[in-house]
Amino acid sequence: MIKDVFVILPLILILLISNTAFSKTIEKKIGYNLSKPDAIVTLPSILHEISGLTNIDSNTFACIQDENGLLFIYDAVKNTLKEEYVFHIDGDYEGIAKVDNTIYVLRSDGILFEIIDYTSVNFRLNSYMTGVPANNNEGLCFDKTNNRLLIACKGKIGKGPQFKDTRVIYGFDLKSKRLSEFPVFEFDLPTLKQFAIENNIILPVKTKKKDKNAEPIFKMRTSAIAINPISQKLFLLSASDHILFVFNRKGEVELIEYLNPELFNKAEGITFFNNGDMLITNEGQDKKPTLLRFNYK
């Protein structure tokens, strides 16, 4: 029996080639040079497990970490933690989105917390059992055009081969406070892998010793999502794959980019300022948590 071998190609060399050959092309497509952040900031140790962020204004963002029911306000210009609020008990909090003066926080089990007037000592807290079918959910963002939140499942939404290669995003209507009956975005892994092959996108590949055909390796375990305010495209991070996906509003893939693990060791948060500048945060793991800023070009 021929065993599968994982050919990393080797990654350091491939990353250097990719950054040199494709960075300008990527920048033209999405407005960012993913190999050269405009700023890299080490975050405070209390944000070691940072797992989601959302923009507040042109200078600040709100974020959470996946252990405590704490809401943090961070100044990205002064690089300082401004405020800290307790909103609930400890839990696995993964996603966050701001809608006017309300903050929504997604727990991994699909429960959504609504923090109304979040800066007030008399804030109101509501919770919704969304009924998302996946056991693990990490992506949350505000879809202003449709007045809904997007909730991305990290993995499969059911057992059986029919769910193996499907990844989905549900919509949570902010008027009815109900989850969409069916996914509003549905992604097929073989289709995405074929896109990578046809567009000569450099990714780690899996092949057999006697088989010259190479198949890209990724599982698309969504860790964060956000809608770009300039292009209105959906940006999706898969931290475990070190990959950024970009889709148009029809859910059609437009970009798949492998991210340098040295910069993006565990990218679990993404948001945009209104001018298009992109922020991505990494959990600390065995390092320090970091904030990467990419100015929109």
pLDDT in tens, 66-107: 999 999 999 999 999 999 999 999 999 999 999 999 999 999
pLDDT at residue 22 in the model: 53
Q: What domains appear along the chain, each with residue ranges and CATH number?
A: 4-294 (2.110.10.10)
Q: Tell me the pLDDT of the chain averaged across its residues.
A: 90
* pLDDT range class, residue 2, cuts 50, 70, 90: very low
Give the global pTM: 0.90
Contact 76, 293 (CB under 8 A): yes
pLDDT in tens, 129-145: 999 999 999 999 999 99
Give percent of the chain with pLDDT exceeding 90. Answer: 79
Above 90 in pLDDT, residue 206? no
pLDDT in tens, 252-262: 999 999 999 99
- Closest to 37 (Cα-Cα) out of 12, 13, 19, 62: 19
- Closest to 186 (Cα-Cα) out of 140, 224, 222: 222
pLDDT at residue 27 in the model: 76
